[in-house]
Amino acid sequence: MRKNDVKDVKACRICKQKKLYKFLDLGKMPIPNGFLKKEDLKKFEEKFELSCFFCKYCGLIQLSKVVNPSLLFKNYVYIPSIAKVMMNNFSNLSHQIYKEQKLNASSLVVDIGSNDGSLLTFFKNYGTKVLGIDPAINLVKVARMKGIPSESKMFNVKNARLIKKKYGSANVITATNVIAHIDDLHQVFKGVSYLLAKNGAFVTEFPYLLDLVKKNEFDTIYHEHLSYFSLKPWRRLVDQYGFEIVSAQRLLVHGGSIRLIHKWKSNKKNPANKTVHYLISLEKNYNLYSKKTLSGFAKKVENLKYDLTTLLKTIKQEKRRVVGYGAAAKGNVLTNYFRITNKILDYIVDSTPYKQGLFTPGTHIPVVGENILHHDNPDYILILAWNFADEIMEKERAFRKNGGKFIIPIPEVKIL
Ligand code: TMP
Ligand code: ZN
């Protein structure tokens, strides 16, 4: 390991306080999207600590280490456009924002973490100007090929300045499933403050901590996700930069997320206060910010490990075959932590072309296309991309018709 590969988190990312309490330790893990080529299977795999801190002062949950983003995002294999659910969510988001913000052909929408341009394509189709910004060079190329102007850059104050100079202020800035990836949240907010027009809206979506804790979604905790947000600490952050949350909606995506719309604070009555207060009261009623709740969560993870590994052991003893479905990063967390290796899963089906032909980090399970499954008849499919379980079971209904069974691991082990 080189010196700059990983650094310790010494103070809370939002409030800078140093009273951090560790409540979950998943041990050392390979980088969750670090799929391997066949020729690399024998090589040494770097592993990094994966454990979570709770800030007693503001309530933010965060990883204890930050792995250098250049190791995590250089050749990023995650693309949301594979899943219908994600595309529907983007379609719905763009529709809502286009209407509510009264956008037109002269409006500029900037997407932070624009990936392959999936979200911006919807805005472009409404006729607005668009600009993507994403450090993953491979995906920026794909986005450009789709006609989405994109810059291969990190979003920070310096780059916000460059963008403003080149393209003007943004009427809308979107950031879906990316804020949790960013260590320096203050750079993001400074950048947004610089780039956002006076009447502009900053729209963000991220997985919601309340859902994560309530539904045992421990496998969504991985090196890429540095923070696990809830409204109480988030509101404190946005407030510091002169924004207010004008709308808070819960979403079903990624096991439960929230969509927040922020505007510059004004003296007008804020109609969203009610929803924001409501969510904060839900967090409080669940005792989300207590050591007891968080250690209880860690305990539930251990129970899940026992339940799933016992089931898989029985299946293997009965000489039945199991394969995985969805080579999601979260699947790599689950399989690595539970030690579900290539001795248990014959392969993992995934429709992402970039992942096929590769092997999962740590557990070395081959990733294959759907066609392999369709010419095979395993007894069980373990749905690792459980957030898309319905979509996957619908797509593979023939498997169940032929007597196959699905195993869904989260929130608790279910056989269908
Ligand atoms: P995610 O939960 O991190 O979005 O990853 C989901 C993975 O599941 C991603 O690699 C794509 C894969 N997937 C399929 O292979 N087929 C499908 O039908 C769906 C919905 C997802
Ligand atoms: Zn804090």
- Among 205, 220, 251, 350, the mutation site with the greatest number of ligand 1 atoms within 8 A of its Cβ is 350
Give the position of tokens 């967090």. 283
What average pLDDT does the structure give for the chain? 95
- Among 348, 351, 374, the mutation site with the greatest number of ligand 1 atoms within 8 A of its Cβ is 351
Task: Dihedral sign for Cα 115, 117, 123, 129, please.
Answer: positive
pLDDT at residue 76, as a whole number: 66
pLDDT at 78 over 80: no
pLDDT at 240 over 70: yes
CA angle 382, 384, 390 (to 5 degrees): 85
Closest ligand (CA of 332): 1
Rg (CA), the chain: 21
The bridge status of strand 129-133 relative to strand 108-112 is: parallel
Atom of ligand 1 nearest to the CA of 330: 3
CA angle 398, 328, 93 (to 5 degrees): 90
Ligand 1 and 392: CB distance under 6 A: yes
Average pLDDT over residues 379-386: 98
Q: What are phi and psi of 339, to 5 degrees?
A: 55, 50
> What residue type is 281 in one-letter code?
S
pLDDT at 176 over 70: yes
pLDDT at residue 104, as a whole number: 98
Atom of ligand 1 nearest to the CA of 355: 10
Nearest to 124 by CA among 96, 94, 166, 81: 94
What is the distance between the alpha carbons of residues 235 and 108, in angstroms, rounded to a whole number? 26
Tokens of 7: 């650094």
Tokens of 69: 């983003």
Percent of the chain whose pLDDT exceeds 70 = 97
Q: pLDDT of 245-295, one tens digit each?
A: 999 999 999 899 999 999 999 877 777 678 888 999 999 999 999 999 999
Ligand 1 and 395: CB distance under 6 A: yes
Q: What are phi and psi of 171, to 5 degrees?
A: -80, -30
Provide the whole-model pTM.
0.94
pLDDT at 77 over 70: no
Give the position of tokens 């439960």. 256
The 3-state secondary structure of 151-180, one letter per residue: ECCCCCHHHHHHHHHHHCCEEEEEEECCHH
Tokens of 356: 């096929």
pLDDT at residue 275, as a whole number: 87
In this structure, what is the dihedral angle of CA atoms 240, 245, 250, 252, given to the nearest 10 degrees?
-70
pLDDT at residue 32, as a whole number: 93
Ligand 1 and 253: CB distance under 6 A: no
pLDDT at residue 100, as a whole number: 96
**pLDDT confidence tier of residue 202, bands split at 50, 70 and 90:** very high
pLDDT at residue 214, as a whole number: 97
**pLDDT confidence tier of residue 81, bands split at 50, 70 and 90:** low
Would you say 330 and 384 are in contact if contact means Cβ atoms under 8 Å apart?
A: yes
Ligand 1 and 26: CB distance under 6 A: no
